[in-house]
Amino acid sequence: MKRTITHLADGRELLYFDRRDDADRSAADLRDLPPRPPASELRYDPLTEEWIAVAGHRQSRTFLPPADECPLCPSAPGRLTEIPSPDYDVAVFENRFPSFSGQPVGTAPVGGLSEVRPGTGRCEVVCFTSDHDSSFSRLSPEQVELVMEAWIDRTAELSALPGVEQVFCFENRGPEIGITLAHPHGQIYAYPYVTPRTRLSLQAAERHRRRTGGDLFADVLAAEREAGVRVVAANEHWTAFVPAAARWPVEVHLYPHRRVPDLGSLDADERAAFGPLYTRVLRALDGLFGVPLPYVAAWHQAPVHTGRDLSYAHLEVFSIRRAPDKLKYLAGSESAMGAFVNDVLPEDTARRLRSLAEG
pLDDT in tens, 125-151: 999 999 999 999 999 999 999 999 999
Q: What pLDDT, in 10s, does the model give residues 282-308? A: 999 999 999 999 999 999 999 999 999
**Are residues 122 and 94 in contact, defined by beta-carbon separation less than 8 angstroms?**
yes
How far, in Å, CA of 128 to CA of 143, rounded? 8
* 107 — pLDDT class (breaks 50, 70, 90): low
Fold of 2-193: HIT family, subunit A (3.30.428)
Res 146: pLDDT: 98
Is 253 among the catalytic positions? no
Question: Roughly how many angstroms between the first and final C-alpha of the chain, as a whole number?
Answer: 34
Q: What is the mean pLDDT of the chain?
A: 96
Q: Where in the chain is the domain with CATH 3.30.428.10?
A: 2-193, 197-358
User: DSSP letter string over 4-49?
Assistant: EEEE-TTS-EEEEEES-TT----------PPPPPPPEEEEEETTTT
- Which of 185, 237, 253, 314 is labelled catalytic? 185
Res 113: pLDDT: 82
* 60 — pLDDT class (breaks 50, 70, 90): confident
Res 108: pLDDT: 62
User: Residue 174 — left, alpha, or beta (φ > 0 → left; ψ -120 to 50 → alpha)?
Assistant: left
* 59 — pLDDT class (breaks 50, 70, 90): confident
Q: Tell me phi and psi for residue 92, to 5 degrees.
A: -130, 130
Mean pLDDT of 189-195: 98
**CATH class for domain 197-358?**
alpha beta
Res 120: pLDDT: 94
